[in-house]
Amino acid sequence: MTGTAIPPLGAGLGYSRAVHDQVLARRAEIDWLEIAADQFRPLTSERMAELVVLRQHFVCVPHGRRLALAGPRSLDERYLSDVCAVAEAVSAPWLSGGLGRTRDGRPRARLAPVPRTRQAAAAIARKAREVQSRAARPFLLEYPSGDPTCARELTEAQFLCEVLYRSDCWLRLDVNHLCANSLSLRRDPQEFLDQIPLERVLQVQMTGARRVKGVPARGPDALVPEAVWELADYVISRASVRGVLVERASARPGDVGDLLGDVRRARGILGPSDEPWSRRLAARA
Do 183 and 148 form a contact (C-beta atoms < 8 A)?
no
Taking the C-alpha atoms of residue 239 and residue 270, their distance in angstroms, rounded to an integer, is 11
Amino acid identity for residue 39 in this structure: Q
> Residue-wise pLDDT tens for the chain (285 aa)?
666 678 899 999 999 999 999 999 999 999 999 999 999 999 999 999 999 999 999 999 999 988 878 877 889 999 999 999 999 999 999 999 987 655 544 544 455 667 889 999 999 999 999 999 999 999 999 877 666 556 688 988 999 999 999 999 999 999 988 888 888 778 899 999 999 999 999 999 998 755 544 555 544 445 788 888 999 999 999 998 999 999 987 788 888 999 999 999 999 999 865 555 555 444 434
Distance of CA 25 to the CA centre of its chain: 24
Q: In total, how many domains does the chain have?
A: 1
Range(s) of the domain holding residue 14: 3-280
Q: Please provide the DSSP assignment of the chain as one string.
A: --GGGSPP-EEEEE--GGGHHHHHHTGGG-SEEEEEGGGG-S--HHHHHHHHHHHHHSEEEEEEGGG-TTSSSPP-HHHHHHHHHHHHHTT-S-EEEE---EETTEE-SSPPP--B-HHHHHHHHHHHHHHHHHHTS-EEEEPPPP-TTS-BSS-HHHHHHHHHHHHT-EEEEEHHHHHHHHHHHT--HHHHHTTS-GGGEEEEEEE-EEEETTEEEE-TTSPPPHHHHHHHHHHHTTS---EEEEE-TT--GGGHHHHHHHHHHHHHHH-S-SPPHHHHHHHH-
In sequence order, the 6+-apart residues with CB closer than 8 A to the CB of 87 are 37, 62, 95, 135, 137
The pLDDT assigned to 181 comes to 80
| Residue 243 covered by a domain | yes
Q: Is residue 86 part of a domain?
A: yes
Q: Radius of gyration of the chain from Cα atoms?
A: 18
Report the alpha-carbon distance of residue 232 to residue 248 in Å, rounded.
Answer: 16
Residue 44 domain flag:
yes
Decide if 222 is inside a domain: yes
10 is a domain residue = yes
Question: Do strands 59-64 and 102-103 pair parallel, antiparallel, or not at all (unpaired)?
Answer: unpaired
Is 285 inside any structural domain?
Answer: no
| In-domain check, residue 71 | yes
State how far the Cα of 43 lies from the Cα of 247, in Å rounded to an integer.
24
- Give the C-alpha separation, 175 to 111, whole Å: 16
Is 44 exposed, middle or buried (CB count within 10 Å of its CB: 0-12, 13-18, 19+)?
exposed
Q: Rounded distance, CA 142 to CA 175, Å? A: 10
In a 10 Å sphere around its CB, with 0-12 CB exposed, 13-18 middle and 19+ buried, how is residue 81 labelled?
middle
Phi, psi for residue 209 in degrees, rounded to 5:
-145, 160
Confirm whether 250 is domain-assigned.
yes
Phi, then psi, of 111 in degrees rounded to 5: -65, 135
pTM of the model: 0.88
Where residue 194 sits, what CATH number does that domain have? 3.20.20.150
127: region left, alpha or beta (phi > 0 left; psi from -120 to 50 alpha): alpha
